[in-house]
Amino acid sequence: MRLSPATVLPSKALPLLIVSECRLQIYRWFFPLTCVLAALFGCFIVQNLPQEQGVLLSGPYYLTKALVTVAFAIPLLQAFFITRASTRDTEYRTQALVFASGVSKADFLLSRWFGGFIAGIFIYCGFLTGMIAGLYASAGQEINLLQVLASLGWSSLVFILPAMLLSSLLLFAVGLFSGSALLVYLLAAMMFFTYSLLQVATGSPVMANPFILSESLKWLFDLTEPVASANFFDQVKFWTLTERNQMQISFTESLTLNRALVCLAILVFAGAAFYRFRMVITAGEPTRFRFNFFTGKKGKTPGRNRGALSYANVNAQHTPYAWIVACWALCRREYAATIASKFFLLITLFWSVLLAGEVISGFSYLESLDVKPLPTTSVAINRFIADILPNFGALFLVLFSADMAWRDHRLNISDLIHVTPVSNGQRFLAKWLALAFIPLTFISLAIITSALVQISYGGKPDLLLYLSLFYYLGAPLFCIATLCLFIHSLCGNKITAMLTALAVMVLSQSSLGHYIGLEHGLFKFANSSVLQHSELTGFSAVSDAFNGYISLWVSLSLMLALLSFALMTRGSDGQGIWQRLRRGDLLRQMRQTLGKPGLLLLVLAGLSTLLNAGHVYYQTNIIGYYQSSETRIKWRVGYEKAYARYRGMPSPDVVETSIEIALYPEQRRFVLSARYQIKNRTREPISEVLISTNKGVSYRNLVMGNATLSRYDAEYGQYLFTFDIPLRPGEQANFSFEAERRHNGYNGVIYDSFFTPEYIYFRDLRYMPFFGFSEHYTLKDDVKRKKYGLVPLPPQPRLEQAITAAKGDFSGDYAWAKVETRISTSAEHIAVAPGELLSQSRANNRNYFHYQTRRPIRRVSAIISAKLNKSSEVVDGTLLEVYHSPEHQDFAREHLDAMAATLSYGNRHFSRYPARQLRLFEIPNTLGYSGYAMPQMMLVNENLGFSVDRSNGGAFDHLYRRTAHETAHQWWGHGLDGAQEEGHLMLVETLAVYTQARLLEQKYGKEYVYRLQQFAHDRYLFGRGQSLLEEKPLYRAEENHLIYSKGTLAMNALQARLGAGTVNRALRRLIKHHSYPDNPATSLDFINALTAIAGQEHSAFINKWLKQVVIDDWAIESTRLSQMPDKRFKLELCLANLGYIEGSGGEQAAITRFESVDVGIFTQEPSAFYDKAADHRTLLVSSVKANRQPGCHSYLLNEKPAFVQLDPYYQSIDHRRENNIAELALSHAD
């Protein structure tokens, strides 16, 4: 017998059902709270999303960007309302009542879905309201409300609404067919993380550190992305400032196709769900509301006829062993009830695929142009230990703890358990342990998945490193499991407890707590410094902090566990803590439940928590000198107000240093004594000297020759010395001091003061005394300066203005000195500093080294002490050394080759390298450097320089490029030290990328560089579209996409037109006339030198690349291919340059002068071989001139061409290359 609706309600019942469902969704305490939170979040987004200079907050571009940026949160927003709409009949067992009501299937499904969907729409409207309020709260811009509403409405309709429809349908279908609220929440979380991961792997600009894992994956994701954010960013990539403030998004071909596919998916999912759903229940069976989506059949239930059951008395055993056995049996049952379900298996499968994808992406991408890493365990685990596994694990614990804590009530067996002999202690311990096994399960699964992927890539898993994850990841998740159970023991409602636990997890496991003042690690439960593994140092960079924090959280978790046990109730009369407090028996019950042993353990756990919290506070605040962001700002404000009067006061320069430093790697500290020789290089006598010291370093015995300490300010670390007799111009004085610093990992990795037992890197720039007012302490943000009563900082003068103000003399910018360093370190370490190694010895189980530079160098010196091997060779009289781990001997050889080639090139074309030694160091990836050059010393990241898969023949040789680049800085930055004005980075980074390109061309040929040109071209245009500032010409530039990417294009174009010899002669002249101690160069000095050598006839071309912002737009207007009577082929090509010259304020002027462009004619599509030497596929490459007016040219060819392309080798900046190429076909005879 099957029950089905006997009477169907009339169709007019649908509006009533929808209204009723909406009321049910809206008339809940959770709904207004969510609306308020959504509005606050909208206001927060508007006021904190990065603002681009000149872009109106109320403009269409900014508002749309804000919407697509936060669209990933849509599933999480909808899950809470869709769950109530789709699973409540199962939860409250009202399926039979609903089915017998006469509601049609269509009315039932539509009303339920629409009620949940409209609640989400209301919340979204609250978010939009918050955005509008945020706009009005932002001062300085006039708001046109109608324009704002139009922009938000259009963007929501195009981008957000389709995504909300699709997301709500998927969540509704899962809830409907599973009847499980837990599965709906998990699906929402999966959608959130999957979407975020895909955005990262497809290069979305809204994500941090995006990259393109696969062009095919990017194409597929861009085609089907529910929000279409990629289409948005592609459309606005090259918009000007005016267009960003005025233009709405239009339906391009790609956007239209994307929206059509998403709408089709909505219809397919809606139709499938409607077709598969059945409103029938078989009589005599439990009224389970669970159907198989793919078959449409109900899940089978066990039969009722199991035969007669017999019962026998069993004598209960009360021994400790029996207690443990019973507890273990309960634990296994709780654990099995959680994992032995299709839902858990589905989640596990999805999570395994997600984690495998993350590891695969780690092995598939190291950096651009197809460079891959070696498949090491370190690379694998770094893909998931900092975010995916901890975040997913915490989320799963929030969800599974709710299911486990309320399972007895959900199954209506609370009263049955009340009369069983099972104790509360056994019940609690079983649930606690079972919940703790959940993260251990996921960690085990992560290890197995990662190891299998690693083996498939040819790697060898490091078993001990994998097993260490049970400690580094398992311990925090165990604490989170305990906290979740505690929260459920406090709350009398499952949803309230789950939301509370989720809120606590979000605040403790993310950076959101920062915005409400919860910055300190003590406010982030089960959190510590971010973990990152290094093959050089392991986890030791932050392992001390992890151990200290985890001791605190474990002791606190023990307290929470005891309190949870004390609060545990039996049977159906369990109430929330507030009801029991009002009843007055809560504390008595807790004391009775815990007993004296439990109370003693609670006290001991509390004392342990206090002691551990005190230890963490001491290490973080006292040793690590922690400051909150607000405290740090106020400190800077106070410093500037107290010492601004010393700004501009003449100060002496350090001309010689002698440092003796003792390093203690195991203790992570140093002790040093230093003697400085200082000199008055100004034109005025110096009567007093302000000395700034770092608050994280302990100083003592500061002594200034012929001067008296007149004031010491402990709050700001300032010393004011007064000379007995003013120091006249040219005179020198002595200054000495002692200092000590202890390090730890409680405030994370410090990039320039890195101390671990295995590796020490100490750059003294920030930690040694600084003479004069310290500008880097001042606030740079004008809004904050106004808030704290500081006058705005004067704008940086244009380069020409600075030259006029300084009368062309920038000698005061020099900070060069002779450096002598004596180092002692542990017996297992080798220590290095700038200069020649004068002596080396060993005594008292310590190693001693003495270094000294023969000439002054830029005073940016470092000390490195580590357990490293050394490889070396002598080139042109210079000793080249590479310090590396023992396993990386082959990589060291490659670095030596790149250093030798660069050294020889620089000696031949620029100037003689002045030192007798040059050293390169393998550094831990935890430092965050890719490469970094200092005088006579260079650092290269262990992953990027020493763990590269060299078997991939198609990968670009970034290892050689990077080493050549850093070696080139010995001329550009540490040889030629430019004036610290606009454009000084061009003389450092742009000239270094020029040098690296010449070295790559020398080794691989000029075609090899074309690939780098294409990458630089695309990265420049991408950076130009994402920049927050108005673009400056290259000679005044500071942004990375200009000095690196555009610099690569510009210098390549200059050497292609003028010749590398001409450029090199200009650079040689620049070094000859502007190296230390001569007047520092500016970028205009380089332009003048290049123009003088190349000739005035090339000045317009030089200015185009270096002094103007020119964006070409080469366009093929028409083509005609015909065959001549002599069997040759005639190609008629008409082209124009539709580009523009960009002025200040984003104004555009059309290019009117004739510019040259290469024309390439090919037998195949050239993108497949443009970076290879020309062969039979290249029929012709010639140069023609064109401007905005179309010009036509004819070519006679012996073979039939298939393609013609303008600028095939990326010799110009062209923002629309799709009109540069045309496929050719023979035209019919007239």
Contacts of 1132 (CB under 8 A, 6+ apart): 1118, 1119, 1120, 1121, 1122, 1192, 1193, 1194
Q: Give kind and range of the element (H or E) at residue 940.
A: strand 937-941
Identify the CA nearest to 997 among candidates 954, 960, 969: 960
**Axis crossing angle, helix 253-276 with helix 229-236, rounded to the nearest 10:** 170
Measure the CA–CA gap between 87 and 105, rounded to whole angstroms: 16
Handedness of CA 500, 501, 502, 504 (dihedral sign): positive
Give CA separation, 913 vs 75, 960, 975, 999, in Å: 60, 20, 8, 17
pLDDT digits (tens, 9 = 90+) for 1156-1197: 999 999 999 999 999 999 999 999 999 999 999 999 999 999
Residue 902 has pLDDT above 90, yes or no: yes
pLDDT digits (tens, 9 = 90+) for 56-74: 788 888 889 889 888 888 8
Terminal alpha carbon distance of the chain = 82
pLDDT digits (tens, 9 = 90+) for 479-502: 999 999 999 888 877 888 888 888
Task: Report which listed range, 19-33, 515-529, 670-684, is most confident.
Answer: 670-684
pLDDT digits (tens, 9 = 90+) for 850-887: 999 999 999 998 999 999 999 999 999 999 999 999 99
Q: Is 1005 helix (H, G, I), strand (E, B) or coil?
A: coil
Query: Confidence class of residue 1111 from pLDDT cuts 50, 70 and 90?
Result: very high
Handedness of CA 451, 457, 461, 467 (dihedral sign): negative
Residue 52 has pLDDT above 80, yes or no: no
Query: Confidence class of residue 297 from pLDDT cuts 50, 70 and 90?
Result: very low
pLDDT digits (tens, 9 = 90+) for 32-51: 888 888 888 888 888 777 66
Q: Would you state the torsion angle of the CA atoms of residues 659, 662, 664, 665, taken in this order, to the nearest 10 degrees?
A: 40
Measure the CA–CA gap between 723 and 725, rounded to whole angstroms: 5
Measure the CA–CA gap between 61 and 305, rounded to whole angstroms: 68
Residues 506/523, Cβ–Cβ less than 8 Å:
no
Predicted confidence at residue 832, as pLDDT, reads 98
Percent of the chain with pLDDT strictly greater than 70? 93
Contacts of 1204 (CB under 8 A, 6+ apart): 1116, 1119, 1131, 1133, 1159, 1160, 1161, 1162, 1221, 1222, 1224
Predicted confidence at residue 424, as pLDDT, reads 80
Query: Confidence class of residue 241 from pLDDT cuts 50, 70 and 90?
Result: low
Residue 514 has pLDDT above 80, yes or no: no
Domains assigned to the chain: 2-179+218-282 (no CATH), 320-623 (no CATH), 650-769+808-862 (2.60.40.1730), 1110-1223 (2.60.40.10)
Residue 750 has pLDDT above 70, yes or no: yes
pLDDT higher at 985 or 280: 985
Tokens of 196: 């975020």
Determine the average pLDDT of the residues in 553-575.
80
Question: Quick count: other Cβ atoms within 10 Å of Cβ 946?
Answer: 25
Predicted confidence at residue 583, as pLDDT, reads 60
- On the 0-12 / 13-18 / 19+ scale of CB atoms within 10 A, 827 is exposed
Phi first, then psi, for residue 68 (nearest 5°) are -70, -20
Query: Confidence class of residue 140 from pLDDT cuts 50, 70 and 90?
Result: low
pLDDT digits (tens, 9 = 90+) for 98-122: 777 778 888 888 888 888 899 889 9
Query: Confidence class of residue 777 from pLDDT cuts 50, 70 and 90?
Result: very high
Residue 299 has pLDDT above 50, yes or no: no
**Matching residue, tokens 């304020």:** 1145
Using only C-alpha atoms, the chain has a radius of gyration, in whole angstroms, of: 35
Measure the CA–CA gap between 701 and 736, rounded to whole angstroms: 8
pLDDT digits (tens, 9 = 90+) for 992-1030: 999 999 999 999 999 999 999 999 999 998 888 778 788
pLDDT digits (tens, 9 = 90+) for 336-377: 888 887 778 877 888 888 899 889 989 998 998 999 999 999
Query: Confidence class of residue 208 from pLDDT cuts 50, 70 and 90?
Result: low
Query: Confidence class of residue 216 from pLDDT cuts 50, 70 and 90?
Result: confident
Query: Confidence class of residue 1 from pLDDT cuts 50, 70 and 90?
Result: very low
Position 649: which residue type? Answer: M
Percent of the chain with pLDDT strictly greater than 90? 60
Give CA separation, 114 vs 15, 106, 120, 122, in Å: 11, 12, 10, 12
Predicted confidence at residue 570, as pLDDT, reads 62
Contacts of 560 (CB under 8 A, 6+ apart): 482, 483, 485, 486
Determine the average pLDDT of the residues in 168-183.
86
DSSP-assigned letters across all residues of 943-999: HHHHSB-TT-TTS--HHHHHHHHHHHTTTBTTTB---SSTTTTIIIIIHHHHHHHHH
Residue 643 has pLDDT above 50, yes or no: yes
